[in-house]
Structure 1
Amino acid sequence: MGFKLLDRLRARLGRHAPLKLALVATVLGLVVGIGGMAGATAGLSWTNTEKFCTGCHEMRDNVYAEFKGTIHDTNRSGVRAVCSDCHVPKEFWPKIYRKIEATGELYGAMVGKIDTKEKFEAHRYEMAKRVWARMKRTDSLECRNCHTAAAMSQDAQSPKAWARHEKAKTDGKTCIDCHFGIAHKEPEGPGPQELSVHATK
């Protein structure tokens, strides 16, 4: 029965060239569309890997070297964050926006703006401020990839830490206002609390 149906379809398409063309175009469109989506997804995943992020010596020898041994790298629970966990949102559109924004940042690396330790240190505060400002604008969206305020246990925190977290909520603060310099060396200059950027909740 299946063969008869195929024979009928072939006969019909043979008589109707436009129908044949439309069918071929549809099939080709589906193949190209699915292939494009698969390629884009694979590309996004690849650019989120630690290997990709530390592929250039500027990142590997500076911020990644500082990250090693921090609480986000090694800890009692064995839950480890990689670069993208803290620097790329998980939600689709914020992730795409961040990837486009990060593409522009490659220019500095290509022209040698931060290609030595001295140059990197000279630009560290400027780079940190950009990250802090973005995280303040997004209400520390990247932190909330892993940390959920609703799941925080009062019993597991010291009374001082719990009080500070409650005060931060009341004062409209976001994670990065207090938790900075925990995975990378803190640059000289005012911290995130002093930046005049407001979180969008």
Structure 2
Amino acid sequence: MKQNKTFPRFFAIFLLLLAILFIIIIYTFYNAKGISYFSDASEACNNCHVMNEVYDDYLKGPHAQKVKGEPRATCNDCHLPHNFISKWIAKAESGVGHAYAFTFKLNDLPPNLNATQKSKEMIQNNCMSCHTDMASHAINATMKKGANEPLRCVSCHVGVGHKQGM
């Protein structure tokens, strides 16, 4: 009986392509400083050149001021949920989305990144969480005349974290 050599060849080609894909993923992860994204350091958010201006704004703002050697708030403190599991889910979603955009949609990227509706809600919740003592005594001007949605903290406190992106 003659052996079918098609299956072993197909399997070998599949393994070779899988190995090449794995090498490309490892190279990209290394080149993009992927390990840094597992930290809470704001410097990791500046790995991409499109974030230079936003990161510079952050460094000039009050949240980057150091208290006992640590910034008052990191990018993650404002842009991600504080609950452990929710934080890592949001971080993974954001990371995959950014990786996809910077890999396959590089020519379509806007000059300044803007927060999504989901991000705006996280940021608002985090403002309220960290500044409850002040926010609870603020006048509740939740609606501008003729507006369709409530005011957010950044409606008045523009540029507290950074100037672009809201």
When normalised by structure 1's length, the TM-score is 0.46
Query: For the Cα contact (< 8 Å) 1:86–1:142, is it kept in 2?
Result: yes
Query: For the Cα contact (< 8 Å) 1:139–1:174, is it kept in 2?
Result: no
Query: For the Cα contact (< 8 Å) 1:143–1:175, is it kept in 2?
Result: yes
Q: After superposition, give the CA deviation of every residue in 1:11-34 in whole Å (9 maximum; x if it has no partner).
A: xxxxxxxxxxxxxxxxxxxxxxxx
> After superposition, where does 1:181-196 map in structure 2 within 5 Å?
181-186=159-164
1:98 aligns with 2:72: no
Shift, 1:129, TM fit: 4.2
**Structure 2, unpaired ranges of 5+:** 1-34, 144-148
Q: Percent identity?
A: 26
Query: For the Cα contact (< 8 Å) 2:54–2:162, is it kept in 1?
Result: yes
Picking from 107, 110, 114, the partner of 1:128 is 114
Query: For the Cα contact (< 8 Å) 2:80–2:122, is it kept in 1?
Result: no
1:54 aligns with 2:46: yes
**Structure 1, unpaired ranges of 5+:** 1-42, 193-201
Report how many aligned residue pairs link the two structures.
126
Query: For the Cα contact (< 8 Å) 1:135–1:176, is it kept in 2?
Result: no
1:65 aligns with 2:39: no
Instruction: State the 4+ residue runs in structure 1 displaced beyond 6 angstroms.
Output: 75-78
Picking from 124, 128, 149, the partner of 1:140 is 124
Query: For the Cα contact (< 8 Å) 1:72–1:183, is it kept in 2?
Result: yes
* CA RMSD, Structure 1 to Structure 2 (Å): 4.0
Q: Which residue identity does 1:65 align to in structure 2?
A: D
Q: Which residue identity does 1:54 align to in structure 2?
A: N
Higher-Rg member (1/2): 1
Shift, 1:45, TM fit: 8.3
Picking from 164, 167, 175, the partner of 2:141 is 167
Q: After superposition, give the CA deviation of every residue in 1:37-60 in whole Å (9 maximum; x if it has no partner).
A: xxxxxx79833222322233332x
Query: For the Cα contact (< 8 Å) 1:90–1:145, is it kept in 2?
Result: no
**1:80 corresponds to which residue?**
72
